[in-house]
Every structure is written in C-alpha cells, then in structure tokens.
Amino acid sequence: MPLSYAEWTCPECKTKNRESCNAWMYGSPIRQCKVCRGEYLDKRFREVAIDGFDPRSNNPQLYLKGALFLLALALVAGALSFYQHTNGYYSTKTMIMTVAFAVGGIACLFMFARIKMGFQSKDNEKYMAESKARLADSAYVEKLRKYGYKI
C-alpha cells in the first residue's frame, strides 16, 4: 500500500507531528511526540491483532463498484466538456472534474487488482506479524491496558 501521512498535535507540548504510515493506519496506537517525547493514544491507528483489519481493505467489490462509478462520472464530465467546447465554451472546472474522476477510478481499479492478486493479503499478513510481535512485549501490553485496551 502506498505510504500516507498522519498528522497530530501533541497534547503535552502542542507541537504538530507528522509521520508516514500505511493508508489503513495499521500500527501501534501509542504515539510519541518527536519534541517532548510525551506519549498518548491515537485511536486512528489500529493494532490489528486486537482491533482487526479494516473491512474495506479486503473488499474487492467495493473498489470495483467505486471504479465503475468514478469512470462513468469521468465519461459524463468528459462528454459535457466536449459538448461545451463544440459550442465555443470551454470550462476548466469541467476538465478538472473529468481528470479527477478518471484518476479516482484508476486508483480504485489499482486497489481492486491488488486485492484480487493477493498483494493486499500479503501486506495484511505482514501487519499482523508486526502487531503480534509488539504484543509479545509485556511492557507494551501494559501500556495498552493503561490506555484502556482490553487484551
């Protein structure tokens, strides 16, 4: 999965932190500020051995439907752009919408292919192994319990 970025403000020193993460935000929910080293719980992150995987991450039909819908919108917006252009009127907004819908549709097709070819399952296996390795550390498990996780 391509890298994404998570941003958060430290509750201790109010510094804005930014770090790379996977698109599903699988990983330790315990975050540490890069400035003051204070820790806090960020529930946007999922400890997959406890929380499980996001259901959307393994649903190829969701991405196929999304791709078809976005590509259909791209065709409609493209036809509207062509119609406007033949009447001597050219809309930049319509062209931008056409491109945006097409790019979104292609991205959905890419995710559909990743799931169908098993790449997403391999990534999920890696995330699960990392999660189980973190949970093997008793100090980490105690921190999670302190933050309210039921393990």
Q: Is residue 99 part of a domain?
A: yes
Region 66-81 average pLDDT? 94
Q: How many angstroms separate the CA atoms of 111 and 105, rounded?
A: 10
The residues with which 4 forms a beta bridge, in sequence order, are 21
Q: How many angstroms separate the CA atoms of 26 and 33, rounded?
A: 18
Q: How confident is the model at residue 1 (pLDDT cuts 50, 70, 90)?
A: very low
Q: Is residue 75 part of a domain?
A: yes
Residue 62: is its pLDDT beyond 60? yes
Mean pLDDT of the chain: 90
Q: Is residue 73 part of a domain?
A: yes
Dump pLDDT digits (tens) for 33-56.
989 998 989 989 999 999 999 988
Domain that holds residue 99: 56-116
Dump pLDDT digits (tens) for 100-144.
999 999 999 999 999 999 999 999 999 999 999 999 999 999 999
Higher pLDDT, 4 or 11: 11
Nearest to 22 by CA among 146, 123, 116, 113: 123
Q: Is residue 13 part of a domain?
A: no
Region 51-79 average pLDDT? 94
Region 76-97 average pLDDT? 83
Q: Is residue 100 part of a domain?
A: yes
pLDDT at 3: 62
Q: Is residue 110 part of a domain?
A: yes
Q: How many angstroms separate the CA atoms of 107 and 123, rounded?
A: 18
Q: How confident is the model at residue 84 (pLDDT cuts 50, 70, 90)?
A: confident
Q: How many angstroms separate the CA atoms of 80 and 127, rounded?
A: 44
- Structural domain count of the chain: 1
Residue with tokens 């996780």: 149
Which structure tokens are listed for 101? 């819908």
Q: Is residue 139 part of a domain?
A: no
Q: How many angstroms separate the CA atoms of 127 and 83, rounded?
A: 48
